[in-house]
Chains A and B, each alone.
Chain A
Amino acid sequence: MHIPDGFLDAQSSIAAGVVAIGATAASLRQAGRDTLESRAPMTGLVAAFVFSAQMLNFPVAGGTSGHLMGGLLAAVLVGPWLGALALTTVLVVQSLLFADGGVSALGLNVINMAFVPAFAGYGLFWLARRVLPASRIGVMTATAFAAFTSVVLAAAAFTLEFAIGGNGAAPVSTVAAAMLGVHVLIGVGEALITTLTVGAVLASRPDLIHGARGIEKQAQLSAVQA
């Protein structure tokens, strides 16, 4: 859900913009501003991948169709900082060129769809990987758990923003129940697709997956044995 202009009030839109700019600056610093410039082609291609992966529509029951949000997927594949920057770029372009998501609501959309999955979602992924065995199954289980949770957390962030800036348009409890209810279902789909996608990359190029560092040797060994 790309929030349009005027869904939340001006103050919270501006505040979210300031937070989003701060988080982007922090990601730029963490990703290494200088080396990042030389990696701009790579990151741009990853952003183009996220953009087109979001076009992979698949029909869901009831005549509606769903698509991947891809926040956690990008974070697991290229790391949280680059993943967050790629998603931020996708959202800026979607907003300015495709009018998808309001320009004044860009901060809100960047928080919900870039930083919540990349930071909170990837944090959970990292924790889960520490608990789970360092194996293909372990990485995929951690991905499934974090992908599901990142969608629910994004819905929770939306509800929180609505409670702050929604001017009481609807009872917050109703919005919370509706958003969380719908996004538990969406989260299951997101977890399924994200996990299988990571599995597909693990099978062909495990070395490319940032979140699976440390297991590629085993994967290559088992491939040789097979």
Chain B
Amino acid sequence: MSGGHHSTDSLHTPLDTRVHSIDATVKLVCLCGFLLAVVATPSRAVPAFSAYALLVAVAAVGARLPLKVLGRRLLIEIPFVVFALALPFTGSGPEREILGVSVSINGCWTAWSILAKATLGTAATVVLAWSTRVPDILHGLERLRCPRVITAIAAFMIRYLDVIVGQLHRLQVARLSRCDNPLWLWQGRAVAATAGTLFVRSFERGERVHRAMLARGFTGRLPTALTGREPLSWFPAAAWPCAAWAVALVAIMR
């Protein structure tokens, strides 16, 4: 992880756009439909990928997502970019000389496909996270029949994530101020001692939260996050997966 994960606060930005106002349930379904179309597209259908990029761009512009934010959040796929860049040299099949180096043509296409699909997938997901509040995403997952226990665990995790990360930071500062800043393998011990303490503190915090909830009358049943079951309006969000599937089917048939 490239250290980009710090807080869930920095992910969502409340704005008043058409994309922000789409129901989270609809957005989740449309995102999955769109991504499956992207993944199912053969790698040599370059025009199809341009069409997908245009669709993502329309959504990103509609949600007023700054290019800088998108660029920074795309950095997360770097490990697979490295993997993809190795493929032209390890791939099989016919080879061609480019700048005096022989590269596999199949390998090049696969590398292109991985880069294009991963970038489209990451960008589309960044638009979702940018334009949707976290409770709305959890609510959407619940409406899609995700077990309530999972969304409840996720809700507690997100609620306390900043606290635990802050605790981690304080543990590290405390360790450094004890002049405990080892190099090489001895770091392992320091990291592990920090992780061990962090676990004990997280667990004890969980116990305290649970006991506080019991004191406030928690009976073991969590209140549902559902406020209402208003019907979902699929227009215009459904245009994205439908357009993507139309493009994908044309690309597959050809």
Binding site for B on A (CB under 8 A): 1, 3-7, 9-10, 13-14, 24-25, 28, 33-49, 51-59, 67-68, 73, 77, 85-86, 88-90, 92-100, 102-104, 167-171, 174, 189, 192-201, 203-205, 208
Q: Is the CB of A55 within 8 A of B5?
A: yes
A195 to chain B minimum Cβ distance, whole angstroms, is: 8
Chain A interface SS verdict (over half): helix
A192 to chain B minimum Cβ distance, whole angstroms, is: 5
Which residue of B has the minimal Cβ distance to A167?
B110
- Taking the complex as formed, is B153 at the interface, i.e. its CB lies under 8 A from any CB of chain A? yes
Q: Is the CB of A193 within 8 A of B147?
A: no
Which residue of B has the minimal Cβ distance to A196?
B192
A61 to chain B minimum Cβ distance, whole angstroms, is: 8
Q: Which residues from chain A contact B80 at a C-beta distance below 8 Å?
A: 1, 3-4, 7
Contact pick for A7, options B118, B157, B194, CB 8 Å? B118
Chosen A-B contacts, 6 in total, with CB atoms closer than 8 Å, are: A4-B114, A5-B120, A38-B218, A68-B191, A98-B4, A196-B193
Contact pick for B160, options A44, A77, A169, CB 8 Å? A44
B121 to chain A minimum Cβ distance, whole angstroms, is: 3
- Taking the complex as formed, is B19 at the interface, i.e. its CB lies under 8 A from any CB of chain A? no
Q: Is the CB of B87 within 8 A of A170?
A: yes
Binding site for A on B (CB under 8 A): 1, 3-5, 8, 11, 28, 31-32, 35-36, 38-40, 73, 76-77, 79-80, 87, 90-92, 106-107, 110, 113-114, 116-118, 120-122, 125-126, 128-129, 134, 137, 141, 147-150, 152-161, 163-165, 167-168, 185, 187-189, 191-200, 202-203, 205-207, 209-210, 213, 218, 220-222
Given contacts A4-B80, A10-B39, A34-B220, contact A47 B157 (CB under 8 A): yes
Q: Is the CB of B156 within 8 A of A40?
A: yes
B155 to chain A minimum Cβ distance, whole angstroms, is: 7
B48 to chain A minimum Cβ distance, whole angstroms, is: 12
Given contacts A13-B39, A102-B118, contact A33 B149 (CB under 8 A): yes
Which residue of A has the minimal Cβ distance to B187?
A58
Q: Is the CB of A45 within 8 A of B209?
A: yes
A107 to chain B minimum Cβ distance, whole angstroms, is: 12
Q: Is the CB of A170 within 8 A of B107?
A: yes
Q: Which residues from chain A contact B218 at a C-beta distance below 8 Å?
A: 38
Contact pick for A104, options B36, B116, B160, CB 8 Å? B36
What is the CA–CA distance of A86 and B77 in the complex, to the nearest angstrom? 23
Q: Which residues from chain A contact B167 at a C-beta distance below 8 Å?
A: 52
Q: Is the CB of B149 within 8 A of A40?
A: yes
Q: Is the CB of B168 within 8 A of A52?
A: yes
List 5 extra interface pairs beyond A41-B156, A171-B90, CB under 8 A.
Answer: A5-B122, A44-B157, A55-B3, A58-B191, A170-B91
